[in-house]
Structure 1
């Protein structure tokens, strides 16, 4: 499953119920969060569904968090960044420009430790202004009534895709394992290494050329199919045309008879 890059999910300041997330809270969450202890899941509008096929099922997990300072209109503030592992449904929702804002659910006294902890991440369409309850969260959406929701922050999910190993790089890595030679062996090995690397480069180029040729061939095949269809339609039209109908006789004028007046 794809993992997102870190993105900002909260900044020290107001929450949706008038309480504040201070710098110490963000620092404690960043230091204490451990998915193995308690993993925060991702919920639509903070609603925790219980059925796996519900629209309010979990849409992924928060796998890591960190705290960093950011520049804001009010000066430097400490922000919390999260890395998530979303479900394919959440990725599709985000690409459709839906549920673009995130809001934290923080439990101020987690497991009787007197320490705050991240227990959930909500996604919503409603950006919340500082000091307001624009999200209209109801108390029964909270895991505990004392939990607080941070104001929503707009996010754009960006994923780290594993980079494939190129053939030339793989050859270099393989040959480097045998590079500790000396004397004539080293010279011979250097020649072999250079030749193999050149061969690898030719293979990569050949693969690229092959892919390009296949693309051109597919394009030509598509054009040929369209032309054949047009010719078939024209032939059908010609076959159905009335080709054996009798022709109208050519006009010859009068027959030479003179009519008299009565």
Structure 2
């Protein structure tokens, strides 16, 4: 089962980063531009990106949505950036054990070729001091000595100070079919239920008809196979009979030729004498 968090704050305008102070426009642009298909912001430990799936610094989830809203802090109205995340089971386990409860944004004020801000990552940590105001200010003043120099997504991205996150995870709802204006109107008017029932019955009839056609087609295929086999056997028998008939016809022709060669009358008897007198054998 997938889980997602409720909205929680990850940044505020004017906050410290390891390079510059967070500007209001960055938060507005980050909320407006966020698109997981363009670039997905993953969740990392201490902003360290592991390369192996079983690394201690592997990704622990994804940011799935951002929004910017104004809040009141110390009597002042400021713009804050809120996030929803989809955690891994490990991050949920950390949270239940009260571990990794602080977050720090990695925001790029000039992302790719857009020239606008984009959230490129979110870190979780147990030590807010490691990403606190003093450390980040030091890194901003002396970038050559920054402990974060090798962790950035790009040369322009920066880390913000850690804020405690009130993670509240809930089961992610399954995707529901979109509701069209027509379906909503027909539902309100009460005219969609009867049609739906008719459609369901019609689809049921169509399903039954398709099933029967499939069964008939299967039976027909079997019958065609049997008929094809019988036709092949009959053709073989016909070929044998034809050969026999031709042989008989040839014999009959030969016999007829022999008969035709015989004389048409009996031969005359032999003569008994030259004078016509009969001789007596004594």
Residue 120 of structure 1 is matched in structure 2 by 121
The alpha-carbon deviation at position 131 of structure 1 amounts to 3.8
Counterpart contact for 1:18–1:132, Cα < 8 Å: no
Counterpart contact for 1:7–1:81, Cα < 8 Å: yes
Within the alignment, does 1:138 sit opposite 2:148 as a pair? yes
Q: Residue 6 of structure 2: SS of its match in structure 1?
A: coil
Q: Distance in 1 between matches of 2:191 and 2:49?
A: 53
Residue 44 of structure 2 is matched in structure 1 by 43
The alpha-carbon deviation at position 160 of structure 1 amounts to 2.8
Instruction: String of CA shifts for 1:215-252, please: whole Å, max 9, x gaps.
Output: xxxxxxxxxxxxxxxxxxxxxxxxxxxxxxxxxxxxxx
Kindly tell me the number of residue pairs found equivalent between the two proteins: 171
The alpha-carbon deviation at position 75 of structure 1 amounts to 0.9
Residue 161 of structure 1 is matched in structure 2 by 171
Counterpart contact for 1:41–1:60, Cα < 8 Å: yes
Instruction: String of CA shifts for 1:161-217, please: whole Å, max 9, x gaps.
Output: 3689xxxxxxxxxxx99977xxxxxxxxxxxxxxxxxxxxxxxxxxxxxxxxxxxxx
TM-score, with structure 2 as normaliser = 0.55
Q: Distance in 2 between matches of 1:79 and 1:160?
A: 23
CA gap of 1:179–1:33, structure 2 versus 1, over 3 A, is: closer
Q: After the TM superposition, which of the residue ranges 23-32 and 8-17 deviates more from structure 2?
A: 8-17
Counterpart contact for 2:5–2:167, Cα < 8 Å: yes
Q: Residue 17 of structure 2: SS of its match in structure 1?
A: coil
TM superposition outliers: structure 1 runs of 4+ over 4 Å: 134-137, 176-180
Q: Distance in 2 between matches of 1:157 and 1:35?
A: 21
Residue 22 of structure 2 is matched in structure 1 by 21
The alpha-carbon deviation at position 137 of structure 1 amounts to 4.3
Q: Distance in 1 between matches of 2:108 and 2:98?
A: 29
Within the alignment, does 1:88 sit opposite 2:89 as a pair? yes
Residue 8 of structure 1 is matched in structure 2 by 9
More helix by share: 2
TM-score, with structure 1 as normaliser = 0.59
Instruction: String of CA shifts for 1:66-118, please: whole Å, max 9, x gaps.
Output: 00111111511100000000100001011111111000001121112211111
Counterpart contact for 1:16–1:132, Cα < 8 Å: no
Match of 2:160 among 150, 154, 162: 150
Q: Distance in 1 between matches of 2:87 and 2:7?
A: 13
Query: RMSD value over aligned CA atoms?
Result: 2.7
Q: Residue 140 of structure 1: SS of its match in structure 2?
A: coil
Residue 53 of structure 1 is matched in structure 2 by 54
CA gap of 1:162–1:112, structure 2 versus 1, over 3 A, is: closer
Counterpart contact for 1:100–1:124, Cα < 8 Å: yes
Residue 105 of structure 1 is matched in structure 2 by 106
The alpha-carbon deviation at position 159 of structure 1 amounts to 2.0
The alpha-carbon deviation at position 40 of structure 1 amounts to 0.3
CA gap of 1:162–1:64, structure 2 versus 1, over 3 A, is: closer
The alpha-carbon deviation at position 143 of structure 1 amounts to 1.4
